[in-house]
A and B are shown apart, each in its own frame.
Chain A
């Protein structure tokens, strides 16, 4: 009998779609219940969104001023308390889940399964190691709570709309630390689609050559309504901010269309895009490794090809 607690990720009062992906992984276990836990200063709107996700049994909220920002040291003891009676605790394997969930696991004295790609049984999972160059099957201890982060690119978001799960407030008796304080979030405001969840992504690499030149990537992305990403080389060179990085240590994404422009395709980058529907590569070097995994390749000068593409699209 499985009962799963999914930790909701949210920002600025809105539920992040990574939560519904974690719910999909929970549903794959065919549990008796999936409850979503929302920790926030004001949880109502987030909880209302979570209640609509298919498969969710209940939404639990812990609304406290201390939960205004996702500080792992503050959230983890509350999650550990709330996990009593659950067989599994899941969170998306985003920077939020990666930060907080190991802290929860340690408080519970259990191991964590990171980046669950598939569910083989209630305690058996597949996950990537070595930047996705090997996939291991792991068995968690049957007598312990299973704490796991869910690799969001491997799971479609559970549908929303048909469900109307009850929302209940939860109070946990736990003293919260004051040793860690949020200062600010510097977020590049953008009207473009979110990189993590976009259906189309256009990424630029070192071949783009400069921060100024990267405008050509933004312009083309806007033309087809895509999010913008980048390789580590482009981020390291200062062409774009770090939150655009796609790869082993950046974002792992699964858009329907991924266009790699001027990206040679280091293993670490390919790890981040393996689950994309269609991968298009444009590179002047026909020997670049990106062509080994691209569904459609075009060898040539990106500064010539992108304007031609725009023109062809009218």
Chain B
């Protein structure tokens, strides 16, 4: 079985995001970029399935400008067999990303697609679900446990009410939650090895995908700040303050 993994590059999760004063975007110049944390988890899960003998090949997919190859090399160093780079300088919205994956699926015929449940830049949480709809296949979102046997995948999902277990026929789309696994660290020899692994570049325009730019972002703003509070000395003062506000 082949597994396709979405591997998006985002502003590193430790960066304190600043909105540009003119409201046209957030500051990304000179800011550290990293793999979307949920995508690292997706790749790790795919690698573990390969190590268990469930899958033979793991392919990481990135959509972005020419310099995205350095990021894809990290995915290869982590252990993916090869990478597909869909080249575009345009920002890609979730439905467009899902359509790109759909096209790649036609060619690659994977048994499983694993994506992060959301990217920590736009926090949209849509692409996996949209892909499953376009592909007309099962979706198992927010996965915290994945087991594959007999052409079926059993997924434990982190839902608001607790843990939901569902069973789906393959091929299917899984989106990862935080506790699915802990991604491995990249070792130096693997970085060397990754240099010889293939990256297929495909021009976005050659895929015949209709770009969906139905959502226009017209303004960026910093969030409203909470005003600085007060410090109390002890438990008695805290109780008094809460009682005064009518909260206890």
Q: Give the B-binding residues of A (Cβ under 8 A).
A: 11, 71-73, 76, 94-96, 98-107, 109-115, 124, 128-141, 144, 177, 179-188, 196, 200, 224, 232, 235-236, 241-243, 248-249, 251, 256-257, 267-268, 274, 277-280, 282, 291-300, 305, 308-309, 311-313
CA distance A186 to B238 in the complex (A): 37
Please indicate the chain A residues that have their CB under 8 angstroms from the CB of B17 in the complex.
Answer: 130-131, 133-134
Interface size class of B (residues with CB under 8 A): 35 or more
Please name the residue on chain B nearest to A232 by beta carbon.
B178
Rounded to whole Å, the gap between the CB of B93 and the closest CB of chain A is 6
* A-B CB proximity, top 10 nearest: A308-B235, A102-B129, A187-B162, A106-B133, A106-B130, A102-B126, A295-B229, A133-B17, A141-B214, A183-B165
**Measured between alpha carbons, how far is A277 from B57 in the docked complex, in Å?**
50
Give how many A-B residue pairs fall within 8 Å (CB-CB). 258
**CB within 8 Å for A183 and B154 given contacts A248-B123, A298-B238:** yes
**In-complex Cβ contact of B162 among A185, A232, A236 (8 A):** A185
Contact across chains for B160 and A130 when beta carbons are under 8 A apart: no
Query: Are B168's CB and A180's CB within 8 A?
Result: yes
Please tell me if the beta carbons of B121 and A130 are within 8 angstroms of each other in the complex: yes
Task: Specify which chain B residues have a CB less than 8 angstroms from the CB of A130 in the assembled complex.
Answer: 11, 17, 26, 120-121, 123
List 10 interface pairs A-B (beta carbons < 8 Å), by A numbering: A95-B159, A136-B217, A139-B215, A179-B172, A185-B159, A236-B178, A243-B158, A251-B160, A292-B228, A308-B236
Cross-chain contact B214 with A140 (CB below 8 angstroms): yes
Interface centre among A183, A224, A277, A291 (most CB of B within 10 A): A183
Binds A, one of B46-54, B71-79, B194-202, B218-226: B218-226
Q: Which of A115, A186, A298 contacts B235 (CB 8 A)?
A: A298
Counting chain A CB atoms within 10 Å of each CB, the highest count among B93, B98, B235 belongs to B235
- B-side residues, CB < 8 A to A, are 11, 13, 16-17, 19, 26, 93-95, 98, 117-118, 120-134, 136-142, 144, 154, 157-169, 172, 177-179, 212, 214-223, 226, 228-239, 241-242, 245, 247-248
Q: Are B226 and A295 in contact (CB under 8 A)?
A: yes
CB within 8 A of B94: which of A111, A241, A280?
A111
- Is B179 within 8 A of A293, CB to CB? no
Q: Chain A residues near B216: list those with CB within 8 A.
A: 138-139
Question: Could you tell me if A133 and B238 are in contact, using CB atoms closer than 8 angstroms?
Answer: no
Name the B residues within 8 Å of A95 (CB-CB).
141-142, 157-160
Are A112 and B165 touching (Cβ within 8 A)? no
A38 to B184, CA, bound (A): 43
Q: Is the CB of B129 within 8 A of A72?
A: yes
Residues of B contacting A257 in the complex (Cβ-Cβ under 8 angstroms): 242, 247-248
